[in-house]
Amino acid sequence: MGREAVRRFVELAIPNHAICKPERSKGEDVGMGNCLQKVGIKMGDTRDHLGQGRFWQRHPATVLSRPLDRTRHSYYPISQGDRPHACCSATLISFHKLSVPELYMLDYLIYKIRVFGHIPALPLKPALPPDLSVVPENTIQKYREYEARQLQRTESSTEIPSSEVPE
């Protein structure tokens, strides 16, 4: 969530009980989303460029083992694929319903283990969401400038200096 969304939530939504009811009738994420929409914050498509989900409202074991449950809580269609993990983005952000020991285990598996001989290609290039209507134009422009700089670096690193070109 951006700063302006946080500001509107704290200053406009929470104090106004007509916009944001204090009693909890739905999950906190759904309730917060409804409050944000009422103060003019647009919800965006958080899937990656392949249509794979980044935010999951279920436990990872459930998401991976029960494909039909994947779309039950998704506004946008999720790419299913023919493999269990085809649903989930390589730039995945979160799962819900994890216990504290499971979070520690994931931290260990993700950040501590280094597979021998594998050199990760980091940092990951940020992918834009498919629905660009909710992304501010200046953000899209900065992304395009970033891509152009990366392309120039790639091209300049593959060029052979003229002094090394055989005649």
What's the whole-model pTM score? 0.54
Contacts of 58 (CB under 8 A, 6+ apart): 69, 73, 95, 96, 97
Structure tokens at 17: 């009980």
* Cis bond before residue 123 (omega within 30° of 0): yes
Q: Which of 118, 136, 128 is nearest to 89 (CA)?
A: 128
pLDDT (0 to 100) of residue 33: 86
Asked if pLDDT for residue 152 goes beyond 60, the answer is yes
Given a cut of 90, is residue 119 above it in pLDDT? Answer: no
User: Any residues with CB less than 8 A from the CB of 36 and at least 6 apart, and which?
Assistant: 5, 8, 9, 13, 43
CA 166/CA 164 separation, integer angstroms: 6
pLDDT bracket for residue 13 (50, 70, 90): very high
How far is residue 145 from each of residues 134, 140, 148, measured CA to CA in Å? 19, 9, 5
* Residue 25 confidence class, pLDDT cut points 50, 70, 90: low
**Helix, strand or coil, per DSSP, at residue 106:** helix
Residue 67: predicted pLDDT: 67
- 137 compared with 68, residue with greater pLDDT: 137
